[in-house]
Amino acid sequence: MSNIKTVGIVGAGQMGNGIAHVCALAGYDVRLNDISDEALDKGMEMIEANMSRQVSRSLISPEDMSTAIKRIAPNTSLEPFGGVDLAIEAATEQREIKESIFKSLCEVVPEHAYLATNTSSISITRLAATTDRPEKFIGLHFMNPVPLMKLVEVIRGLATDQETYEMAVGVAKSLDKTTTNAEDYPAFIVNRVLVPMINEAVYALYEGVGTVESIDTAMRLGANHPMGPLQLADFIGLDTCLSIMQVLHDGLADTKYRPCPLLVKYVEAGWLGRKAKRGFYDYRSETPVPTR
């Protein structure tokens, strides 16, 4: 663990800025990358807002926040990754984009650096094969929202060596996270169980078993879930849910993983959930309103 001092994170969106947040608070120097200054500005604004919330709840001190923010260096170039010890990819859940990022990373990161992906469903072995160091490649699947959720799934690819695995567990623990080991099969553990449940809730809506509100209320009060599955889908992003279902369907060739046509339709409409202001709920007013 002592050899990890600087962490590079590709992607300043919901997951990437959360990983940067916890890494900076844990004492790591952070290089945060995204394709535009606008995306980086939004990411840094989110980090500051979330840390301010932690300060208001006395979870961290104002000094902790100030020091952590100064540890994060945003940049649209990957050039600063020439000094990282660990690079974590947290881009959109599309294999081609991730593979392109790792090919670019291999051109700049030092020889000793480890590579990790925050993918929620894509094969670690397949992504590792696009790099020049598959033995130093691992899956680190953080849960959303990263500053609040305690779990990190650690997933070894076929070529991942023991030293890399121990490094990954050590880094996660240094961030005050609990780790669980998942094998490199489609969607790993959490999403293998969770997203098909969400897809089934969408089927229940599609088939008229219940409305958005009745399905979510039933699962909140009947199964004691903290939020209903359709509300959760909006929070995750309907495009991400669809992508995970497609990975499961393609990877396991089982019809039980067929994405619901209604989920496909919402994604085609651009109704992706909270981030698009519309999904199974409409978020354009102060109180979310069900869209079906």
Q: Is 120 a catalytic residue?
A: yes
Backbone φ, ψ for residue 26 (5° rounding): -80, -5
Which of 167, 174, 212, 137 has the alpha carbon at shortest distance from 26? 174
Which entry of 50, 123, 191, 199 is annotated as an active-site residue? 191
Q: How far apart are CA 50 and CA 199, in angstroms?
A: 30
Q: Is 107 a catalytic residue?
A: no
Which entry of 21, 50, 89, 153 is annotated as an active-site residue? 153
Q: How far apart are CA 68 and CA 25, in angstroms?
A: 5
Give the 3-state secondary structure of the chain: CCCCCEEEEECCCHHHHHHHHHHHHCCCEEEEECCCHHHHHHHHHHHHHHHHHHHHCCCCCHHHHHHHHHHEEEECCCHHHHHCCEEEECCCCCHHHHHHHHHHHHCCCCCCCEEEECCCCCCHHHHHCCCCCHHHEEEEEECCCCCCCCEEEEEECCCCCHHHHHHHHHHHHHCCCEEEEECCCCCCCHHHHHHHHHHHHHHHHHCCCCCHHHHHHHHHHHCCCCCCHHHHHHHHCHHHHHHHHHHHHHHHCCHHHCCCHHHHHHHHHCCCEHHHCECCEECCCCCCEECC
Q: Is 79 a catalytic residue?
A: no
Which entry of 21, 50, 141, 199 is annotated as an active-site residue? 141
Torsion, Cα 210 216 222 224, to 10 degrees, reads 170
Which entry of 33, 118, 120, 121 is annotated as an active-site residue? 120
Cβ atoms within 10 Å, residue 103: 12
Q: Is 191 a catalytic residue?
A: yes
Q: Just list the catalytic residues.
A: 120, 141, 153, 191
